[in-house]
Structure 1
Amino acid sequence: MEFLKLEVFIPLGHEESIIEALNSGGFLREGNYDYCYATSLVKGHFRPLDDAQAYIGQTGELTEVDEIKLECRIQAKHRTEVEALIRLAHPYEIPVMNYMALID
């Protein structure tokens, strides 16, 4: 079975809906446990450009945001489903999601 490590950056205070969506979909399950994930507080930085529909920040201004980095392990075959759930629950126009292949 192939696994990916998922990292997703979420503005502070919005992580609960994404965690609930992923757990309800069965994607945070490891054996006989669910809600298997880690979080850390990070600072996100970005500058919305002219055509951006920014949830946070103003066009042309550098923005710094307190974010939660959510990390978990998912089965590679579920990547498309996981990404769709995150996009539905995430407030950002373009959520940052990083996927890294895990070696068994």
Structure 2
Amino acid sequence: MGALVSRASRSARYTLVFHAEPQFVDTVKQAVFAAGAGRYPNYSECCWTATGTGQFRPVGAANPHTGAVGVLEKIEELRVEMLCDSEETARKAVEALKRQQPYEEPSYAVYKSENF
């Protein structure tokens, strides 16, 4: 029973994943790091980055940073993943991401995971 209580009392962790064009990624990462993301005990500014291709077609009343309404775009983007040690940190990191990311609709996801 003690092991269950101990495990249940540990807080969840979160992983923030976002996409950005290479020329914007360092600025966005610095804003998200400043909000508290990417920290482990004894480490800061930790993340994982991979290169890929983003695809989108702006429609309707879109005002895209890159591309034009009605035109299918395929652009090089970086996928960045980083730990957030609490829900509060994850929320602050997303707010920082939205302020710094130049996209009209920033591409991001937050995943909740157990802290074993």
Give me the TM-score of the superposition, normalised by structure 1. 0.93
Unaligned runs of 5+ in 1: none
Which amino acid letter does the alignment assign opposite residue 80 of structure 2? L
Deviation above 4 Å: which 4+ runs of structure 1? Answer: none
Letter of the structure 2 residue corresponding to residue 83 of structure 1: V
Partner of 1:47: 57
- Larger Cα-atom Rg: 2
Q: 1: CA distance between counterparts of 2:77 and 2:39?
A: 24
- Quote the Cα distance in structure 1 between the aligned partners of 2:46 and 2:93: 15
Identity %: 21
Match of 1:77 in 2: 88
Paired with 1:22 and 1:83, the residues of 2 have a C-alpha distance of 7
Q: State which of 7, 31, 37 in structure 2 corresponds to 1:27.
A: 37
* C-alpha deviation, 1:65, in angstroms: 0.8
Residue aligning to 1:101: 112
Post-superposition shift, 1:103?
A: 2.0
Higher strand fraction: Structure 1 or Structure 2?
1
Match of 1:13, SS state, is: helix
- Aligned-pair distance for 1:82? 1.1
- AA at the equivalent of 2:104: E
**8 Å Cα contact 2:33-2:45 kept in structure 1:** yes
Q: What is the TM-score normalised by the length of structure 2? A: 0.84
1:102 CA displacement: 1.0
Q: Once the 2 structures are TM-superposed, how far is the Cα of residue 79 of structure 1 from its aligned partner?
A: 2.4
How many pairs align? 104
- Could you say what the CA RMSD is over the residues aligned between the two structures, in angstroms? 1.1
Q: Which has the higher helix share?
A: 2
What's 2:4 paired with? none
